Amino acid sequence: MACFSVNGLRLLLLALAAISLFNSETISAQTTKSQTSNALPAQANGQYADNAVCQTCHQELWEKHFATTPHSALLKGNQHGCQSCHGPAQAHVDGGGDVTKIIRFETLSPAQTAAICTTCHQSSLETQNFSKSAHLANGVSCTSCHSPHKSSDVNFMLAKPQTELCFGCHASQKAEFARPYRHRVDVGLVQCSDCHNPHGTQVGHQVRAAAGQFAVCTKCHTDTMGPFVFEHAPVKTDEGCMSCHTPHASTNPRLLQVNNVNFLCLRCHTPNTNGAAGEPIGPAHNQSTKYQACTMCHTQIHGSNFSPVFFR
């Protein structure tokens, strides 16, 4: 603090003032004049009505639900309130509530819904990949998971609690997390969004990535992150952790793909006369004895700094 001079403080205050001036306008959803994307419906054009006029017909929705959601911030300043999402409403009002003159989300395709929502929600890294996501490609739109008008979840306006929401479509994962060896999603310790970004990511299965774009697993399982001098190649290359583990849950301990470790290892470490490069070498240990417990000796199987055969 001693080196934080008065001039530095002045400079910081000046920068903050400049940012606030530049930043005074929050993001508003729709332009008034022209359709800004081929993805948007035609009702995105038109003239805006006064924000308060929506309440005259949609009073209950306004008072009981919308006012308590984060979207209520759209009522501030020169923003357009409900019209930020539903489009300019003057024609709808002039038409006595003509439903064809307003954007109704139940009439939109998933891509059209996403185009409206991402008009504002595109600057966040969490949602930037939605247009290329597996969810959108499979007809899952923003309103499939979020309930913008009312939700018991005041933070993300999810239609249901997260795990229950995901299991609604991904029902087989509910069965997976009932298995004996599992990530503790069933008790709420781990959430689906800890590993997956439902809005899409750069890699498959909408899985997040750790530093260096390595497997998200190392975010929590930091002892496997490395870098190690002697890496176990399949841990970092090709399929990565899923070479040996099933990531959600397993009937096998340590979430392994098979029940016996020697079978797991021998699948790759078998002498092969037709292999590329002849690697990895197979064991010359008698599988009928103690050597069936491969990791009793090869303990540092995720990588070692001291032993090329992962003894220590």
Residues from 140 through 159 that contact other proteins (CB under 8 A):
140, 144, 152-155
Complex with other proteins: residue 93 or 117, whichever CB lies closer: 117
Shortest spacing between CB 184 and other proteins, in angstroms:
5
Q: What DSSP element (H or E) covers 135?
A: helix 134-137
Shortest spacing between CB 37 and other proteins, in angstroms:
5
Shortest spacing between CB 117 and other proteins, in angstroms:
12
Complex with other proteins: residue 13 or 137, whichever CB lies closer: 137
User: Where does residue 25 fall: left (phi above 0), alpha (psi -120 to 50 degrees), or beta otherwise?
Assistant: beta
Dist. CA 127–CA 181, nearest whole Å: 32
Complex with other proteins: residue 90 or 292, whichever CB lies closer: 292
Residue 205 is a binding residue for other proteins (CB under 8 A): no
Choices 3-11, 46-54, 94-102, 288-296 (CB under 8 A): range interacting with other proteins: 288-296
Candidates 36, 47, 59, 100; binder of other proteins (CB under 8 A) is 36
Do 281 and 269 touch, CB atoms closer than 8 A? yes
Say if residue 45 is exposed, middle or buried (CB neighbours under 10 Å; 0-12, 13-18, 19+): middle
Complex with other proteins: residue 84 or 93, whichever CB lies closer: 84
Dist. CA 291–CA 284, nearest whole Å: 10
Reference 83, options 69, 71, 98; nearest CA is 71
Dist. CA 298–CA 308, nearest whole Å: 10
Candidates 5, 70, 97, 103; binder of other proteins (CB under 8 A) is 70
Complex with other proteins: residue 101 or 177, whichever CB lies closer: 177
Long-range contacts of 145-149 (CB under 8 A, 24+ apart): 145/198, 148/69, 148/71, 148/85, 149/61, 149/65, 149/66, 149/69
Say if residue 78 is exposed, middle or buried (CB neighbours under 10 Å; 0-12, 13-18, 19+): exposed
Shortest spacing between CB 126 and other proteins, in angstroms:
10
Dist. CA 224–CA 216, nearest whole Å: 11
Candidates 32, 47, 59, 259; binder of other proteins (CB under 8 A) is 259
Shortest spacing between CB 96 and other proteins, in angstroms:
25
Residues 3-32 binding other proteins (CB under 8 A) are 19, 22-23, 25-27, 31
Candidates 32, 47, 59, 123; binder of other proteins (CB under 8 A) is 123
Give me the torsion for CA of 106, 109, 113, 118, rounded to 10°: 170
Residue 284 is a binding residue for other proteins (CB under 8 A): yes
Complex with other proteins: residue 10 or 184, whichever CB lies closer: 184
Candidates 157, 214, 215, 241; binder of other proteins (CB under 8 A) is 214
Dist. CA 52–CA 67, nearest whole Å: 12
Going by C-beta distance under 8 Å and a sequence separation of 6 or more, which residues neighbour residue 274? none
Residue 95 is a binding residue for other proteins (CB under 8 A): no
Complex with other proteins: residue 61 or 258, whichever CB lies closer: 258
Binding mask 160-179 for other proteins (x = CB under 8 A): -x-xx---xxxxx-xx--xx
